[in-house]
């Protein structure tokens, strides 16, 4: 009789500990942040080259693995470029960060027609433009895959 009670308590306690562990990981994954900085490498009507540096921050006590982020760059709700998809796992340590440098976007005015032309001429005239950057990744937690997506607006100036 007592053996059954002790086994039941052990199983219940184990299930409670595992549940709380996964709940903490899910809560911590929601706290991840990404910060984007933008640069202009080349500006002409023929071709404009924009570079992004993306920093993913982990302000929690948990260590995560994430997939290499996929970046989408938009101007006025029009997709002007997206990064290469890379199947690579990145370890994000507790209270740490991962940096992804020089993600390059080549904007061809011919490909993007009116939207690209308006964007490039605004930059050539010295006007700042607002770009939307979407950082998309997958957080890998003990066999679970949780989506991560952050959208932010950045200002690009010549």
The CATH code of the domain that includes 90 is 2.60.40.10
Q: What is the mean pLDDT of the chain?
A: 79
- Tell me the sheet residues that pair with 131: 154
pLDDT in tens, 17-57: 455 455 554 554 457 888 888 888 888 777 888 888 989 89
What residues make up the domain containing 42? 2-156
Residues forming beta bridges with residue 149, ordered by sequence position: 136
Tell me how many domains the chain contains: 1
CB-based contacts of 46, cutoff 8 Å, min separation 6: 108, 109
Q: Are 131 and 153 in contact (CB under 8 A)?
A: yes
In this model, does residue 111 exceed pLDDT 80? no
pLDDT of residue 17: 47
Is residue 65 a contact partner of residue 90, using CB atoms and an 8 Å limit? yes
């Amino acid at each position: 009789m007592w053996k059954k009670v002790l086994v039941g308590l052990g199983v219940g306690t184990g299930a409670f500990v595992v549940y709380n562990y996964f709940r903490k990981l899910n809560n911590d994954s929601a706290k991840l942040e990404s910060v984007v900085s933008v640069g202009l490498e080349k500006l002409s009507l023929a071709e404009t080259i924009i570079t992004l540096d993306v920093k993913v921050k982990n302000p929690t006590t948990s260590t995560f693995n994430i997939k290499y982020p996929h970046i989408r760059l938009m101007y006025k709700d029009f997709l002007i470029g997206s990064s290469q998809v890379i199947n690579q796992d990145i370890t994000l340590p507790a209270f740490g960060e991962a940096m992804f440098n020089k993600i390059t976007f080549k904007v061809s005015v011919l490909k993007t027609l009116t939207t690209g032309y308006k964007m490039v001429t605004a930059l050539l005239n010295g006007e700042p433009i607002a770009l939307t950057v979407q950082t998309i990744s997958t957080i890998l937690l003990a066999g679970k895959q949780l989506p991560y997506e952050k959208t932010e607006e950045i200002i690009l100036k010549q």
